[in-house]
Every structure is written in C-alpha cells, then in structure tokens.
Structure 1
C-alpha cells in the first residue's frame, strides 16, 4: 500500500487510461508503453512496457484482464517478457481507494515460481511503489 495525495480517480485514470504518459512521469523506470492490441483503458487490451530493472532494460507484454472503473481497480497479467523467465505466471491487481487527504494505492501480486530458489518479486513491488509516488507527484504539482 502506498499513501498518496492525489484522488483515486485521477491516479487510476493515468495508470489505466493513459499509461503512455508513464515514460514522462517515471522515466528512470519506464522507458515506453505501447498498445499492441485493443484501446487504452479497455479489457482485453495488450500493452508492452519497456522498463529498467537493476540497470537492465526489460520488456513486459501485459493483458488487461479486468477493469472496475467504479472501484478504480485494474487487473493485469504478464503474458510475455523478462518476468516470465523466473515466474510461470505473474498477475497484479491495482486499486486506488479514497482516504482522508488523498488515497491509498494497493498493489497485489500473484505469481508462481519456476523453481523454489527464485526470490519473491519484492523489487517489482518496490518499483511499483516508486511509480505510484511519481504519478502522485505528477498529479499534485499541476
């Protein structure tokens, strides 16, 4: 969970409907976001993220599995990319809920490792928290 100053609907709008802004908002992590299939902010769309992790440029192709606009929630599944070298499956849920003086953004990750000695993806959660804070800064400085 990450506490932010921005409203949940504004945060959700950037992450779900306008992720192509992320390279400008969080350039130290996100290099590019492109739509491969579908439309921005719609279920069934496929997005490709180029991002930096531990100094390495990585790729993730993600399927938008579910969208709950009324709850500011989106579910994504990685269907191709570097993450799947270590994990058989990798899904995440993102939800922004209103709190006094802003919102709380909750990230939930579900994954299945290829092998037991693979570490849990704590670094990916850390990057998600950094991106969340970057989006908050972008939204609250306007």
Structure 2
C-alpha cells in the first residue's frame, strides 16, 4: 500500500517567480544549492512529460549519490509538475516513488501576497525495515525556503 507525505510551504516570492525557478531547476539548483553537484537532461527537453534528468548529489547528502527522475506531469498553466524516481539508490528503498509540486498564488486584500508550494511524495517501501523518507521531506522544506530567499534577493 502506498504511503503519502505532504508538505505545505508559504513563500514570499510570487507564484510565477517561484514556478519559473522550479521549472529552471536543471540550471539553477546546482548554482545555488551546494547539495546538487549537477543536474543534466538525459532524455527530452528538460521540462516536458517524458523528460528524464540525472541528478548528482554532493558528498554527504543522505540516502543518495544520484537519482534519475522522469517527468510524468508538466502543467505550466496550473503550475503543477510531477516526477517519478526511476534510478538511483532511492529505488532500492522505495518503489513507485513520485513527487508532485504545485505552486498556488496567495493574495491579501486583493494584492499578490506570495505563494504556497504544495509538495506531495507518494511511495511504497521495499520492506518494512525501510524508514520513512523524512529526510527527503525536510530537504524539500529547506530547499523551498532557501529558493524563496534567493529569489527575493535576485
């Protein structure tokens, strides 16, 4: 039976700015986050459904040295992207590992007030001994907050 983990992060950056940064993560993340050694597109155009990206993590990142992810949903209009991890250390711990990210604008008194990032991870453990991927959720939270800080300064 699949397990589901959800995370909601409020950011000060506009939904458009946050979404653009997330969609440009192949180039942007290795520049601003030391835990990403590199991200390269190995199939597709880097953004649309069917794209496969190879992510290499820096030494010391828990659980993984690399991951290959395949884009399953890419909906720019609704600011939703979903990808499955198809290779790397994570697949030996979790099967059907899929992450979905949606960015929704927020308003206050009719004005743009930033955005909410909804992050959902669905997975099946390969065995009961495998721990929940809490570190991945924690890393996602840190990444969204750090990306927001970066966008507010640039």
TM-score scaled to structure 2, two decimals? Answer: 0.85
- How large is the Cα RMSD of the aligned pairs? 1.5
Aligned partner of 2:50 among 44, 49, 59: 44
Match of 2:5 in 1: none
Aligned partner of 2:70 among 49, 63, 79: 63
> 5 Å matches for 1:45-124?
45-52=51-58, 53-54=61-62, 58-100=65-107, 101-124=113-136
Summarize deviations over 1:8-66 as a string: whole Å, max 9, x none: 12111121234221011211x22211110111221111001112423x76101000111
- The structure that has the greater radius of gyration is 2
Summarize deviations over 1:73-109 as a string: whole Å, max 9, x none: 1000000011112112210000111113211111100
Distance 1:51 1:2 in 2: 23
3-state SS, counterpart of residue 120 of structure 1: coil
Structure 1, unaligned runs of 5 or more:
none
Distance 2:11 2:140 in 1: 13
Distance 1:105 1:19 in 2: 19
TM-score scaled to structure 1, two decimals? Answer: 0.91
